[in-house]
A = this chain, B = another copy of it.
Amino acid sequence: MGKLRIRHLLVAGGAGFLGSAFVRDRLRADPEILITVLDTLRRPGAGADLDDVGEDGRFTLVQGDVRDRTVVERLAAAVDATINFASEEFTGSGVADGPALARTDIEGTAVLLEAARKFRHQRFLLVSSGEVYGPLKAAANREEDRLAPTSLPASVRAAAEILASAYQASYGVPVLITRATTAYGPRQPVNQFVASLIASALSGQTVLIAGNGSATRDYLHIDDQVAGIARVLWKGEPGTVYNIGDGVQISGSQLAETVLDACGKPSSLKRLTREGPGWSYAVDPRRMRPLGWDPLVRFPEGIRQTVDWYRRNESWWRLRAVA
């Protein structure tokens, strides 16, 4: 792992679905690592979701906002690197509000970047999304393609990327960016896409797919997502971007049928909104290969394992769905 010496890591938004999986994975994989999580814990149940690592002496959870310079500077002073998962999209409010998204995703990133600059962090990794490219036009998107996000949550992530790149250009902050495809797996809140389908199916409700079911996405299991992000943090080239995905396009219909089948429910529960094909999204992940990363959990096995988890942990998601 070269000359990098990341012993203590600040994980902003580390109590979310992606962030907490990353934290768990790192604590498991690296006995030397110290991790400080900064999270508002606004998502229902977020505080309890890190209880399993709460006793670990290498782990510290701080409740606070990424926009709070005082808190961020205090934490940043003690660490070697920052990784930012914090996004308003996943706080649970459910309504896309431009100013609120701008505050958490962009201003929050700016505050973290200022601190990373001030305390000369060895790495600053911004967790972004493949949706920053906008809907698929022709071939799967490469990292150098233009950013043309059409949704507000994707647009603020693209904006945060641009700001991060300017910090690299202006001040030499060693910025890395990951653009991942749609994540799924255990502990995904049921207001997020794949988990919502699983919860509906297990409850015997209809599984709703936007459009006529033909639009495709690339679904990546949470374990592979966070392993990919860790690879980029430790092995990626600062100043560059990495697409993370398994390169397999799954249609909405296929996804719904796979979920229903894994839940032991009839495919007749699938409902298409039938308003045209909808949008497809795809990223080309070939830059990940030289980092030694390859997805290990493939579709549809990953979906089946995930459904098993939701079946065994019904109280977990029912509690969070109510909140």
Q: How far is B109's CA from A106's CA once the two chains are assembled, in angstroms?
A: 13
Cβ-defined partner of A155 (8 Å) among B144, B156, B165:
B165
**Chain B residue nearest to A149 in the complex (CB):** B166
Q: Which residues of B contact A166 (CB under 8 A)?
A: 149-152, 154-155
How near does chain B come to A281, taking the closest CB pair, in angstroms?
14
Q: Which residues of B contact A110 (CB under 8 A)?
A: 98-99, 101-102
A138-183 interface (Cβ within 8 A of B): 144, 146-152, 154-156, 158-160, 162-163, 165-167, 169-170
Cβ-defined partner of A162 (8 Å) among B67, B144, B147:
B147
Complex copy number for this chain: 2
How many of A's residues come within 8 Å of B, CB to CB?
A: 37
Q: Which residues of B contact A158 (CB under 8 A)?
A: 159, 162
Q: Which residues of B contact A159 (CB under 8 A)?
A: 106, 158-160, 162-163
Cβ-defined partner of A102 (8 Å) among B98, B107, B154:
B107
A23-45 interface (Cβ within 8 A of B): none
Q: Which residues of B contact A107 (CB under 8 A)?
A: 99, 102-103, 106-107
Q: How far is B169's CA from A134's CA once the two chains are assembled, in angstroms?
A: 10
Return the CB mask of A91-128 against B: 1 if under 8 Å, else 0: 00000111101110011001101100000000000000
Q: How far is B162's CA from A113's CA once the two chains are assembled, in angstroms?
A: 20
Given contacts A102-B106, A149-B162, A152-B163, 9 further A-B contacts (CB under 8 A): A69-B99, A102-B107, A146-B146, A149-B165, A150-B170, A152-B170, A155-B166, A156-B163, A159-B160
Cβ-defined partner of A97 (8 Å) among B102, B114, B155, B162:
B114
Q: How far is B152's CA from A169's CA once the two chains are assembled, in angstroms?
A: 9
**Could you jot down 20 A-B contacts, CB within 8 Å?**
A69-B99, A97-B114, A98-B167, A99-B107, A99-B110, A101-B110, A102-B102, A103-B103, A106-B107, A107-B107, A134-B169, A147-B162, A148-B165, A149-B165, A150-B169, A151-B166, A152-B163, A152-B167, A155-B162, A158-B162
Q: Give 7 closest A-B pairs by Cβ, nearest first.
A: A159-B159, A155-B166, A98-B110, A150-B169, A102-B107, A99-B110, A102-B110
Q: How far is B143's CA from A286's CA once the two chains are assembled, in angstroms?
A: 29
Q: How far is B163's CA from A98's CA once the two chains are assembled, in angstroms?
A: 8
Q: How far is B69's CA from A111's CA once the two chains are assembled, in angstroms?
A: 22
Q: Which residues of B contact A147 (CB under 8 A)?
A: 146-147, 162
**Chain B residue nearest to A99 in the complex (CB):** B110
Q: How far is B156's CA from A167's CA once the two chains are assembled, in angstroms?
A: 11
**Chain B residue nearest to A69 in the complex (CB):** B99
